[in-house]
Amino acid sequence: MSSEELLRRHEAGGARLAASNARGAAAVPALRTVVVTCMDTRIDVQALFGLGLGEVHTLRNAGGVVTDDVVRSVVVSQRKLGTREVLVVAHSRCGMATFSDDDFSEELAAEVGMRPLWRTYAFADPAVDVQRGVDRLRRDPFLLPETVVRGFVLDIESFALTEVGGDEPAGLAGVRDSA
Ligand SMILES: [Zn+2]
- On the question of pLDDT at 178 being above 90, the answer is no
Percentage of residues in the chain with pLDDT exceeding 90? 91
Q: Which band of pLDDT confidence, cut at 50, 70 and 90, is reported for residue 165? A: confident
CA–centroid distance, residue 151 to ligand 1 (Å): 15
CA–centroid distance, residue 36 to ligand 1 (Å): 12
CA–centroid distance, residue 172 to ligand 1 (Å): 31
State mean pLDDT over 32-40: 98
pTM (2 d.p.): 0.90
Catalogue all structural domains in the chain, each as residue range(s) with its CATH number: 26-178 (3.40.1050.10)
CA–centroid distance, residue 159 to ligand 1 (Å): 13
* Residue 145 phi, psi dihedral angles, 5° rounding: -60, -25
CA–centroid distance, residue 66 to ligand 1 (Å): 13
CA–centroid distance, residue 126 to ligand 1 (Å): 9
Lowest mean pLDDT among 11-15, 53-57, 174-178: 174-178
State mean pLDDT over 48-54: 97
Measured from the Cβ of residue 66, the count of other Cβ atoms closer than 10 Å reads 26
- Could you tell me if 138 and 174 are in contact, meaning their C-beta atoms sit under 8 angstroms apart? yes
CA–centroid distance, residue 37 to ligand 1 (Å): 8
- On the question of pLDDT at 168 being above 80, the answer is no
- pLDDT on residue 172: 45
- pLDDT on residue 173: 44
| pLDDT tens by residue, 91-105 | 999 999 999 999 999
- pLDDT on residue 166: 61
From the CA atom positions of the chain, what is the Rg in Å? 18
Helix axes 126-139, 68-81, angle to 10 degrees: 50
